Amino acid sequence: MRAQKVLELQQQSQKCSVGCPVLDRCLGGGIPCNSVTELVGESGVGKTQLCLQLVISAQLPPSLGGLSASSIFIHTEFPFPFRRLRQLSRAFLASHPDLLDPCDRVFLRAVHSAADLLALIPIIETFLLHSPSPVRIIVIDSIAALFRSDFDNTGSDLRRRSSLFFRISGGLRRLAKRFGIAVVVTNQVVDFMGDGDVRVGNLGNGLYSSGRRVCAALGLAWAHCVNSRLFFCRDDNEKSRRMSVVFAPHLPHSSCEYVIKGEGLFGQETTSV
């Protein structure tokens, strides 16, 4: 498929609000369906919180930026944050008292290895075909955790890892396109150890968080497996946080400061492009 055709499809795809109008504007309307979007950042910058907001916002009608749909949340590393989901749900219901409890429309699944995730994809496909309510969001939090300990730095293991990358991403893209789903994966960062520049996307001067130069975990092979990458970072004093579009076929480079409150993650009006 030609690049122009991919761009047109992304621009035409339905988008789901992330629960904040400022962040939605930065994202051109929200997270796109028929696509795989990656959220990259160090621990504690709010990636999981944004995912929780997304699965709640997906339940809104399209007139309010949602998809009138349920979600699947696959957690791979820590216990699922039930308390935070309930806290965000209470804030959501305070603004939308006519809707049902959002917790009832989030399907959870724990996965502990890349092989388990690959095996889960056809099970999800069958579930989507027979689900009593439409599912339009799939979250995987986080993808990096599945590859942390099962692979050594040998040629054979690196080839096996790359093969799993493409098989998993191929399955996720197939689900996204067949069912009109927005797939969101979170990824971690590692310290950048190279001497030169490795440009991936719009941020040619590199990615920086908490005063360190970092790069997305899993390397360049995984970067080719996602359609869009968003970077979440802290500044040196850890008081300010920023979301930036690293690459996306339907978006220009843009960035937005945000804060995390009890009611959720919210962009600041001082948006720069």
Going from N- to C-terminal start, the domains of the chain cover: 3-267
DSSP string over 99-162: SPPGGGGEEEEE--SHHHHHHHHHHHHHHHHH-SS-EEEEEEE-SGGGGSSS--SSHHHHHHHH
34-68 exposure pattern, b = at least 16 Cβ within 10 A, e = fewer: bbbbbbbbbeebbbbbbbbbbbbbbbbeeeebbbe
Asked if 203 and 230 count as a contact pair (C-beta separation under 8 A), the reply is no
> Which amino acid appears at position 92 of this protein?
F
Q: CA–CA separation, 184 vs 165, rounded Å?
A: 15
What was the pLDDT predicted at 147? 85
Q: CA–CA separation, 239 vs 257, rounded Å?
A: 11
Closest of 11, 8, 62 to residue 32, by C-alpha: 11
Residue 7 has pLDDT above 90, yes or no: no
Residue 8 has pLDDT above 60, yes or no: no
**CATH architecture, domain 3-267:** 3-Layer(aba) Sandwich (3.40)
Give me the mean pLDDT over the 226-241 stretch. 88
What was the pLDDT predicted at 272? 47
Mean pLDDT of the residues in the chain: 88
Residue 273: band (very low, low, confident or very high) from pLDDT cuts 50, 70, 90: very low
Q: Name residues whose C-beta falls within 8 Å of residue 133's C-beta, 6 or more positions apart in sequence.
A: 69, 70, 105
* pTM score, whole prediction: 0.89
Residue 149 has pLDDT above 70, yes or no: no
What was the pLDDT predicted at 152? 61
Q: CA–CA separation, 56 vs 17, rounded Å?
A: 10
Q: CA–CA separation, 155 vs 265, rounded Å?
A: 41
Q: CA–CA separation, 22 vs 29, rounded Å?
A: 10
Task: Give me the residue label for tokens 């690459």.
Answer: 247
- The dihedral through the CA atoms of 44, 145, 243, 210 has a sign that is positive
Q: CA–CA separation, 21 vs 207, rounded Å?
A: 25
Q: What are 14-42's pLDDT values in tens digits?
A: 999 999 999 999 999 999 999 999 999 99
Give me the mean pLDDT over the 164-168 stretch. 93
User: How much of the chain is in helix, strand and coil states, percent to nearest 5?
Assistant: 35, 25, 35
